[in-house]
Amino acid sequence: MPHFKPADRLAHLPPYLFAEIDRVKNEVKAKGMDIIDLGVGDPDLPTPDFIIDAMNKAVVKDEHHRYPSYSGLNSFREAVSRWYHDRFNVHLDPKTEVLSLIGSKEGLAHFPLAFVDPGDLVLISTPNYPVYPIATMFAGGETRFLPLTEDKDFLPDLDAVSADTWKKAKILFLNYPNNPTAAMAPRSFYEKLVDKAKEFTTILVHDAAYSEMYFNPDDKPLSILEIPGARDVAIEFHSLSKTYNMTGWRIGMAVGNAELVQALGKIKSNIDSGIFQAIQEAGIAALEQGEPFAGKMRAIYRNRRDIVVDGLQKYGLECRRPGATFYVWARVPRGRDSAGFVADLLQRTGVVVTPGNGFGKPGEGYFRIALTVNEDRLNEALSRIASL
Kindly state the helix (H) or strand (E) to which residue 187 belongs, with its residue range: helix 187-200
Kindly state the helix (H) or strand (E) to which residue 173 belongs, with its residue range: strand 169-175
Q: Which residues pair with 145 in a beta bridge?
A: 124
Positive/negative CA dihedral, 127, 132, 136, 141: negative
The predicted pLDDT at position 29 comes to 87
Helices then strands (H, E): number in the chain?
A: 13, 12
Q: Which CATH class is domain 49-290?
A: alpha beta
d(CA 290, CA 285): 7
Q: Give the chain's residues under pLDDT 70.
A: 16-18
The predicted-structure confidence for 95-134, as pLDDT tens digits, reads as follows 999 999 999 999 999 999 999 999 999 999 999 999 999 9
The predicted pLDDT at position 16 comes to 67
Superfamily of domain 8-46+292-387: Aspartate Aminotransferase, domain 1 (3.90.1150.10)
The predicted pLDDT at position 13 comes to 80
Angle, CA of 9, 11 and 14, to the nearest 5°: 100
d(CA 192, CA 187): 9
> Checking DSSP bridges between strand 121-126 and strand 327-331, what pairing results, if any?
unpaired
Residues in the chain: 388
The predicted pLDDT at position 277 comes to 97
Exposed/middle/buried for 159, CB within 10 Å: 0-12, 13-18, 19+? exposed
DSSP structure string for 57-106 = HHHT-GGGGSPPPSS--HHHHHHHHHHHHHHH-----TTTSEEEESSHHH
Is this prediction's pTM over 0.85? yes
Q: Which residues pair with 239 in a beta bridge?
A: 252
CB distance 103 to 241 below 8 Å? yes
CB distance 330 to 318 below 8 Å? yes
Domain coordinates in residue numbering, the chain: 8-46+292-387, 49-290
